[in-house]
Chains A and B, each alone.
Chain A
Amino acid sequence: MDFTPDEMMTIAAARALSNDDVCFVGIGAPSAACNVARLTHAPGITLIYESGTLGTAPEVLPLSIGDGELCETALTTVSVPEMFRYWLQGGRISVGFLGAAQLDRFGNINTTVIGPYTHPKVRLPGGGGAPEIASSCGEIFITMRQSVRGMVETIDFVTSFGHGTGGEARRKLGLTTKGPTLLVTDLAVWRPDPDSKEFTVRSLHPGVSRAMVQDSCGWRVRFAGDLEETPPPSHLELQTLRDLYARTKAAHRAQGAA
């Protein structure tokens, strides 16, 4: 089956999640990946959205983190303070899945401003749950489309801390969690170097060249010595994702969303 780069990105991200994970889900691409995992190889995964919905199993993808669909299909729904205190800060979440407007090579994320904070060129939504998701979850997966504007040498604002300037930066800050351990883009799968913590390309998606990855990334890309090719989406993975999108589109259209 033919597939798009976005489909490959979502499916490659879904594969990184396991049946035993308790996953804090960001909206957008992370939400699609988490639900594909749940509907394929990880039926037992616990998905948590910051609106307080624990163990949710949406039939269709939510448009926001607080859609009624999440509450209706959840095991239980707790208040937002309880969500952030007992469940996130309490260390009960194994994986946080985030998107990024701007990202650097050490997995630091900016979702606050483009340009200076007091006079921004673009005022972005801000941190929301991400600053503490990034520090309190066992590890962090990041997924985003590659672009030279999005993947930059220096981000304008550190909303959510990744590996800082690399190396032992997290430990020096007193962080005991792993931080970003995976970056899945529309072109490649990246993992941090064990020592420097710089994101390094571990596998290229089918049909992608090293030059394509470098041309759409604002920092000088490092490639692993044993660079692999990402296995293409299986029929089941692709069908599951497409069915999910089709159900989502139909449901939101029926509810009046154009």
Chain B
Amino acid sequence: MTCIMSLGDAVAELIADGNAVAFEGFTHLIPMAAAHETIRQGRRDLTLIRMTPDIIYDQMIGMGMARKLVFSFAGNPGVGLLRRLRDTVENGWPNRPEIEEHSHAAMANAYEAGAAGLPCAIFRGYLGSDLRKVNPSIRTVTCPFTGEILAAVPAIRPDVAVIHAQKASRRGDVLVEGIVGVQKEAVLAAKRVLVTVEEVVDDFDDLHPNLCVLPHWTISAVCPVPGGAHPSYAHGHYRRDNAAYLEWDKVSADRDSFLGWMKANVLDVGPEAFAERVRPLRTKG
């Protein structure tokens, strides 16, 4: 049963040290506020699962929270490489997390298998790619009907899925609009689900019948955090903060400037800071 609660309480209740956590959102609706709260609460030894680690995991990696990384594309979108992730892989700073690397097709299929309650995902993939040499989770199965050899990867079943969405109803149903990414699958694959939202409305009676809505009984906690996807965007609410992605390339280039930025912008502030960050980017409200 969904509870509408504060972000601090939700993270304290749902995310524990050592958990496998998927913060999802494909370029759009990235749950940054929830990640910052998790950083403030000092979670450790996390398995961080995410198709596109992006700035959100660059920050968590740099803060030494990751025991293992599961991903398929680790870049700063539109800018270049992720410098904290590079530092951890190339130099072991601040630690050296285990890496499980996939392709997008594999991870999308693996989330879907998790949502469908299957042990593994089967798809046509990785043909000729060296990824199968460096990732022992990439196996093959033979189709019992045609004999075709297909790729198989384990289903993703996170302890916790964390997403950001446009709105929730008072009952806790959640609406995701625009680029919906892999959030529905991540939510349904996870044991516990934390959703931050731009707004809470009375009900969803006026919505189009085919929209992506996650029923309240699939969600553990809903936390209103306006602006909570910054510097990514929330379709219909505010634009992507492209300048912040460019700035991150400079901030993250150096360990001291990274730690200074994290103290000033994450450790010493709360979730309410996000509303102010998106004010100049708002397209509505």
Instruction: Please tell me if B78 contacts chain A, counting CB pairs below 8 Å.
Output: yes
Provided the pairs A65-B27, A123-B89 are in contact, do residues A27 and B134 lie with their beta carbons within 8 angstroms?
no
Instruction: Please tell me if A223 contacts chain B, counting CB pairs below 8 Å.
Output: no
Which chain A residues in 67-98 approach chain B with CB under 8 Å? Answer: 67-68, 70-71, 77-81, 83-85, 88-89
Query: Could you mark each residue 1-32 of chain B with 1 if its beta carbon is under 8 Å from any beta carbon of chain A, else 0?
Result: 00000000000000000000000001110000
Known: A121-B90, A126-B71, A159-B130. 15 other contacts (CB 8 A): A52-B179, A63-B245, A66-B27, A68-B179, A84-B123, A89-B125, A112-B130, A122-B90, A126-B75, A129-B104, A131-B125, A131-B126, A164-B128, A170-B128, A256-B280
Q: Report the count of interface residues on A (CB-CB < 8 A).
A: 60
> Would you call A159 and B179 a contact (CB within 8 A)?
no
Least Cβ–Cβ distance between B90 and chain A, in angstroms: 6
Interface band, chain B? 35 or more
> Would you call B28 and A66 a contact (CB within 8 A)?
yes
Docked Cα-Cα span, A153 to B235, in Å, equals 45
Task: Give me the interface of A with B, judged by CB distance under 8 Å.
Answer: 27, 50-53, 62-68, 70-71, 77-81, 83-85, 88-89, 108, 112, 117-132, 135-136, 157-161, 164, 169-170, 173-175, 252, 255-258
Q: A65: which B residues are within 8 A, CB to CB?
A: 27, 77
Task: Give me the interface of B with A, judged by CB distance under 8 Å.
Answer: 26-28, 51-52, 71-75, 77-79, 81-82, 85-86, 89-90, 101-105, 108-109, 111-112, 123-131, 134, 148-149, 178-182, 184-185, 212, 233, 235, 239-243, 245-246, 280-281
> Would you call B105 and A129 a contact (CB within 8 A)?
yes
> Would you call B103 and A51 a contact (CB within 8 A)?
no
Name which residue of chain B comes closest to A175, CB basis. Answer: B127
Provided the pairs A85-B108, A135-B127, A174-B148 are in contact, do residues A66 and B71 lie with their beta carbons within 8 angstroms?
no
Q: B241: which A residues are within 8 A, CB to CB?
A: 255-256
Contact of A255 among B51, B103, B212, B242 (CB under 8 A): B242
Supply 16 A–B pairs (Cβ within 8 Å), ascending by A: A50-B104, A66-B77, A67-B27, A85-B112, A85-B123, A89-B124, A122-B81, A122-B86, A123-B86, A125-B75, A126-B75, A127-B131, A129-B103, A132-B105, A132-B125, A161-B129
Contact of A135 among B71, B74, B108, B125 (CB under 8 A): B125
Interface hub of A84, A117, A118 (most chain B Cβ within 10 A)? A84
Q: B243: which A residues are within 8 A, CB to CB?
A: 256-258
Docked Cα-Cα span, A258 to B77, in Å, equals 15
Name which residue of chain A comes closest to B239, CB basis. Answer: A255
> Would you call B27 and A81 a contact (CB within 8 A)?
no
Contact of B127 among A77, A84, A174 (CB under 8 A): A174
Q: A169: which B residues are within 8 A, CB to CB?
A: 128
> Would you call B104 and A127 a contact (CB within 8 A)?
yes
Q: B108: which A residues are within 8 A, CB to CB?
A: 80-81, 83-85
> Would you call B28 and A89 a contact (CB within 8 A)?
no
> Would you call B51 and A80 a contact (CB within 8 A)?
yes
Docked Cα-Cα span, A152 to B71, in Å, equals 27
Q: B131: which A residues are within 8 A, CB to CB?
A: 112, 127, 131, 159
